[in-house]
Amino acid sequence: MNQGKYIFAQLTNFLPKRVFDRIVEKRKGNKYVRTFTCWNQMLCMLFGQLTSRDSMRDLLLSLEAHKSKYYHLEFGSTVTRRTPSKANEKRSYKIFENFAYVLIEEARKSCYK
């Protein structure tokens, strides 16, 4: 699985983190947050998509299996079964929607170069 860790890191390196951070700041997504930031949440959900998880429960079980790699995968140091679910309930989906639009625009630009 070490190879998978590096592939995931390579994929996430393409994400414009500064743009994401600006969106989070604008929407106050990390207000009152100590450990599990919007970036950590986004990476966990991305991991779920890339590994074809069928449900939140399936994702959380998969994440638990990779507990020793949390730091390297940038999931944050404390991902419990409840943490991503709670974050999904409390945070605005608009943060991730806006970021998706940024990524779609980047993809469009790269297609027409």
Tens digits of residue pLDDT in 25-60: 999 999 988 889 999 999 999 999 999 999 999 998
Q: What is the pLDDT of residue 20?
A: 98
Tokens of 14: 């393409």
Q: In this structure, which amino acid lies at residue 31?
A: K
Paired tokens of 102: 């940024």
Q: Give the integer Cα–Cα distance in Å for 32 and 7.
A: 32
State the Cα–Cα distance between residues 30 and 4, nearest whole angstrom. Answer: 28
pTM of the model: 0.86
Token readout for 81 is: 């079964």
Domain that holds residue 58: 2-111
The first and second tokens of residue 94, run together, are 């608009």
Can you tell me the distance from the alpha carbon of 93 to that of 40, in angstroms, rounded to the nearest whole number? 14
Work out how many domains the chain is built from and give that number: 1
Q: What is the pLDDT of residues 65-113, one digit of tens each?
A: 888 888 778 787 778 888 888 999 999 999 999 999 999 999 999 888 6
Residues near 42 by beta carbon (within 8 Å), at least 6 away in sequence: 20, 96, 99
